[in-house]
Amino acid sequence: MLIGVPKEIKNHEYRVGLTPASVRELTSRGHGVIVQKNVGAEIGLLDQHYVDAGALLVASPEEIFSRADMIIKVKEPQPSECAMLREGQILYTYLHLAPDPEQTAALVKSGAICIAYETITGPGGGLPLLAPMSEVAGRMSVQAAASHLEKSKGGKGVLLGGVPGVAPAHVAIVGAGVVGTNALQMAVGMGARVTVLDKNVDRLRQLDMVYGNRISTVYSNAQSIEDAVVSADVVIGGVLVPGAAAPKLVTREMIARMAPGSVVVDVAIDQGGCFATSRATAHAAPTYLVDGVVHYCVANMPGAVARTSTFALNNATIGHALALAEKGWKQALSESVHLRNGLNVCRGRVTFEAVARDLNYEYVPAETLLN
C-alpha cells in the first residue's frame, strides 16, 4: 500500500501523522510512504530523517492526495483537503464529526473510507488513540488556566497555588476521565484547591484513594455543578460521550454568576464543548470573554506541544496503520471490532451511530458495508 502524509494546515498545528520511526515500520514491511517536504521540520523531524526511514519526499499535498491509497493525518481534514479525497481512499485521522456538519457532508460526498482515531476502542475498554492527546490536553488545561488567571491575560490576578498566608485558587474539574485525571494531577501538583465532579462514584472513590483530603470529590448533578462553577476561579471541562456531541453541562447562567476574571477551559471543544458559552478558538487567538469570564477553547490544544504530542500519538496509532496497510481496510475492520468502531464514514454512508443521530443522517452499520 502507498501511504501519504501531508503537512497539517490547521492554525498553529505542527503535529505529524507519522514520525520517521513509524515510517520505518511501514517501509520495512514493503509499503511505500510519501511525505510532504518539511512535514515535521517545525518539531525537529527533518526531511533527511524521513528519507533515511525509506520515505519519498513530494512537494505538494495535491500529489499526496492524488497518489496515496491511505492518508494519515492528525487533525480533521480542512475544506481544501476534503475536496482532494477520492472514492475508496482511506483517511486515518482525528475527525470529531458530531459538531461539524460541514466536514461530515464533505466526507460523505468524497466516497472515502474515513476512520476516526477518537472512536477506536481498546480491548480493555476506553479509547486508546484518543487517550494520549487527552492526557496532553488535560495537563495543558491547567497550564493554560494558570497563565490566563494573570491580570495581563484578562484574569483576576490570582496565583494558582497561592503563597503562604494567601489562599490558592479553586479549580473545579467537570469529568474524571482521562482529561480530568490529568488536569487533577497538575492542579494538585501546583497547589490549587481542587474539586472534581463525575457521575461515576467508583471513579471518584479511586481518586479519593490516591489523593485523599488534597481534593474534594463530588457526585455530578445540575446542583453540584452549579455550586462548584460559581465558586471556582477555574473550571475545566473534560466530559466525553464517545463520538457524540458533548453535553452542555455548564449553562450561560452559571457563567454569568462567576467572578469577573475567572477562567474556563473547555477541553471538550473538539466535540462541541460542554459549556453553553463555548465556541472553538485557535492558538493564534485562544481566548474571548463572556460576562467577564475568560474562555479558553482551543480546538487543538496538544498542537502547542507538537513534538511531545506527535510521538505520543504515533505510539497509539501505528498498530492500526500497519493492519490497514497489510490487510486492506475491509479485512482489517472485519477482523478487529475495535478498529471497526473507528469507521465513521464509508463510501458515502455514515457508519457511526452517534454522528448519524446528531447530524440527522441515516445510520448504516459498518458490518453491512464490510459484507
Active centre residues (catalytic)? 96, 270
CA dihedral 217, 219, 223, 229 (to 10 degrees): 40
Per-residue burial over 335-363, b = 16 or more CB atoms within 10 Å of its CB, e = otherwise: ebebbbbbbbbbeebbbbebbbebbebee
Exposed, middle or buried, 166 (CB in 10 Å: 0-12/13-18/19+)?
exposed
Residue with cell 480542512: 78
Question: Can you name the residues that pair with 173 across neighbouring β-strands?
Answer: 196, 236
Give the Cα separation of 136 and 76 in Å (integer).
18
Q: Contact 295/277 with Cβ under 8 angstroms?
A: yes
Chain centroid, CA 197 distance in Å: 21
Helices 306-335 + 131-148 axis angle, to 10: 150
Q: Contact 232/202 with Cβ under 8 angstroms?
A: no
Helices 306-335 + 20-27 axis angle, to 10: 30
Assigned C-alpha cell, 302: 496538544
Q: Contact 227/252 with Cβ under 8 angstroms?
A: no
Torsional sign, CA 18, 20, 25, 31: positive
Q: Contact 5/17 with Cβ under 8 angstroms?
A: yes
Residue closest to 91 by CA, chosen among 357, 271, 345, 359: 345
Q: What are phi and psi of 64, to 5 degrees?
A: -65, -50
Residue closest to 262 by CA, chosen among 223, 291, 237: 291
Assigned C-alpha cell, 182: 490529568
